[in-house]
A and B are shown apart, each in its own frame.
Chain A
Amino acid sequence: MTTGRISAGIMPIVSEGSVADAKIGVRLASRLPARTDDSDLRELTSLAVQGDRSAIESLLGELRPMVVRYCRARLGRVSGQYHIADDVAQEVCIAVLSALPRYRDMGRPFASFVFGIASHKVADALRSSVRSAVPTQDLPDGPDEGPGPEETVVRYIEVEHARRLLAKLPDNQRELLLLRVVSGLSAEETGNVLGMSPGAVRVAQHRALARLRQMAELESA
């Protein structure tokens, strides 16, 4: 039975039930935890800047998954694995930790500060030749509970399709969509990372999505 959850990973196959769910806009995925409220995050950041160990751990726990997803989306897989992207994400977290004592709240969301660093680290990684490294895949020490071969292939094809079409977008539009969807930043936060007003973000993201949709429809026609 196919579900309509985003996390199902087999989006081309949608059952009638899930389509009905989609039409009424119910929550279809449960993998992404709800983000901490902005005011709570600001308070957490303030405590972390003062060196509160527990606040630092909580802050990293909040931001790390967003950073990992962003790095993975920007850098992709090497030999079927996300090792390099995950290493870069780790570098971002270390850089954020190092910069934390010098961070001053200037009214911008902390996530903007983090993704400013992440964007530079990813650009550095893309410029360097680290992608030529081919790490050896670890041998599993237990049963693989992941999707089966057929589902894996379907998922792989669709994700590669997404990457290929996103690569055809102008850099700014691609970055914008990744920050909004993969990192889960708001239009305001995305604008702070990219140096755009929230209004300009909303216009640009509309154009970017329309362009992506047009390319997808042309290929499936």
Chain B
Amino acid sequence: MTPEEETDALLDALGRGEMTDAFDPAARLLAALLDDVSQWRSSVSMTPST
């Protein structure tokens, strides 16, 4: 596998939410950003209906 193919596979995996190399600082930064922008605020209300 060429370095370009390895990068392609790494980015494909990150895009699916998979971490294939926890020691890669670039992958970790991208994963952290992906995690942050994927936080959905819960819309479930705790107020009981009357």
Selected from A31, A202, A212, the residue in CB contact (under 8 A) with B8 is A202
Add 4 more A-B contacts to A4-B19, A28-B19 (CB < 8 A).
Answer: A4-B22, A22-B23, A32-B34, A216-B29
User: Please, which residues of chain A bring their CB within 8 A of the CB of B32?
Assistant: 9, 11, 155, 158-159, 161-162
- Give chain A interface residues in 162-219, CB to chain B under 8 Å: 162-163, 165-166, 177, 180-187, 202-203, 205-206, 209-210, 212-213, 216-217
User: Please, which residues of chain A bring their CB within 8 A of the CB of B12?
Assistant: 180, 186
The 5 closest A-B pairs by CB, nearest first: A142-B46, A32-B17, A216-B25, A29-B17, A22-B22
Q: Given A142-B46, A187-B8, A206-B4, check contact A32 B30 (CB 8 Å).
A: no
Q: How many residues of A contact B (CB 8 A)?
A: 59
Across the interface, name the chain A residue whose C-beta is closest to B44: A142
Interface residues of B, dominant DSSP: helix
A–B complex contacts, Cβ < 8 Å, 24 sampled: A4-B19, A6-B18, A12-B28, A22-B23, A30-B17, A69-B34, A69-B37, A73-B34, A142-B44, A145-B42, A158-B32, A159-B32, A159-B35, A163-B33, A165-B29, A166-B29, A180-B14, A181-B14, A182-B34, A186-B12, A187-B8, A187-B11, A205-B8, A213-B24
